[in-house]
Structure 1
Amino acid sequence: MATAFYSHADCLLHEMGQWHPECPARLQAIEDQLIASRIDALIEREPAPLADEAALLRVHTQAHVDHIRDASPIEGYAPIDPDTSMNPHTWQAALRAAGAAIAATDAVIAGQYDNAFCSVRPPGHHAEPARAMGFCFFNNVAIAARHALEVHGLARVAIIDFDVHHGNGTEAAFAADPRVLMCSFFQHPFYPFTGADNQAPNMVNVPMPARSKGMAVREAVDVLWLPRLHDFKPEMIFISAGFDAHREDDLGNMGLVEDDYTWITDRVRDIANRYARGRIVSCLEGGYNLSALGRSAVAHIRSLADV
């Protein structure tokens, strides 16, 4: 078996203006680094299918799905919030992004692949059940996790989120759900200014001050994440893989480097191998310095593939 790599050309067509950091070039940067790293031949490429409405509704309200569908413009841009908008291709791209996470979940649970990385956009972890925000329309990881629980009947899944921003949408979907353990760190105080207070018992949120470097993050993972993950014994792990905590990324102000993403992924893979038959599905979230994004994503994929 191998690591699957899910993506689709439709994900390149969504864009929010030439000025916007969440741009199609992000996916090309990952592709370029895959080729340069010579591990492209060691992963199995799969096309992302379209998610159906039933899958979206496991996390999102009918009103939210209808709103995003109805807001899709025929031309130009349709604003959703001050930094999030749709173009005529956004709806299709968002369905591909969620569909990749669902298809990867099916394939990994079926034993077709050990694990999978979804190189998709738009990202998802800020999308709440009834609100799109923060470049996100549908919550890809939450949809996949709910699919694993409700379609495949898993009893316990863990969600790891190492984006520089708190995954408020994922927390909103699963707070106080005993079937889900969410472990995250994020820069704080920082957008979306959530996650630090009034944590539900199944949330392991670790707010980190600006300029935190890799050793501080590793200590937090060792001391705060890993004991909870060992106690929880997840049957599958989902990762919101944001690479904007990298020291070269101007949308955050943390100090991680590629080796830190490798180290984190190695620890998560150890948990998956011990309790979850190695089953991991990882989905791209943030990461806006193109060079750092490509290098970090490839470091993450290398760890998933154990090469």
Structure 2
Amino acid sequence: MVAYGFKRFFAPQIVAGIKRQTVRADRRRHARPGEHVQLYQAMRTRHCRKLLDPDPVCTDTLPIVVETSSLLDCVIAAIEIDGRRLHRDEIEAFAGADGFAPEHINHLAIDMHGKTARENMGAFWLANHPASLFEGVLIKWRQRIEMKSAAQAGAGRAPARISALPAMSHRRVALTIEGTDRAGAEALASGDTRKGMKSNAENKGPPRAPAHIAPFVEALGVDGAVEMLLEFGGSQVHLSRVGYRSTSAVAERLGVEKEDALAKVFGPGYIKVPLGRQWIAQVMFAQGVSINEIARTIRADVATVRRWGLIKADMQLDLEDWLAGKTA
């Protein structure tokens, strides 16, 4: 079994299944198709942690050539995989699959500010592979999913689905959403909102954190991650090593214990904290907080919050309007 180490800003994408490949220099032994591979963050350090369990399975090991030029803004001049040269659009898609998409990495990697995945890959390549010609291998894997028993998965719970129902008013269409039973949905459509209607907290637990926020949830839990993002979102913060009597901003405002928890996940050093306003809004809404209160907390326009795809927001707004006598 072959092991590979990754920088910490790639870890969330690997865990989320977004990054399922890696480019490596030639060495005596690489993973072969059908073999299990072990993926680690900060391998061979005391902050080492395994990223996937069970171990994924290698699907391809292909020769790759990457040509770079510092004269180009994107740095990456050409990529050839298994003897086939990629077109421009294919290079961008490849860079995204390799973990360099701006939406996934710009908020985590301090030195990456590219507008495209190719630009971010170029910045990384220039810093780590200064030679203009790189020859190595491309290793791809697929994640293995452990099947749970019906008891573990929560037998008897209806599968998640969204279905249109008769409109409550001339302005909106009510929706049944995950966790709402059919009796409740029919009651909502008929206008009897108190019959079978559940609160947001009863409908569903906290929403799943996206890849760039997941490490904060892993370290601090949902409430702690919300507190962290509200306090430091959009900025860089420094994490001291675990056990150090820190005087950092994180330790002063959140406490040493929470800084240690973050350092165990990210390792010591500087990290960028995402804003995460949309995810915070989803968490607060799931806890039954009103749209107006959410907007005030995250400092966003209430109209923006309503447009953010909170599926259950339409239901809450319909209910609020109905109770206020505003709907037809």
Q: TM-score range by the shorter chain?
A: under 0.3
Structure with the larger RCO, 1 or 2 (CA within 8 Å, 6+ apart): 1
TM-score of the superposition, structure 1-length normalised?
A: 0.22
Instruction: Using structure 2 for the length normalisation, give the TM-score.
Output: 0.21
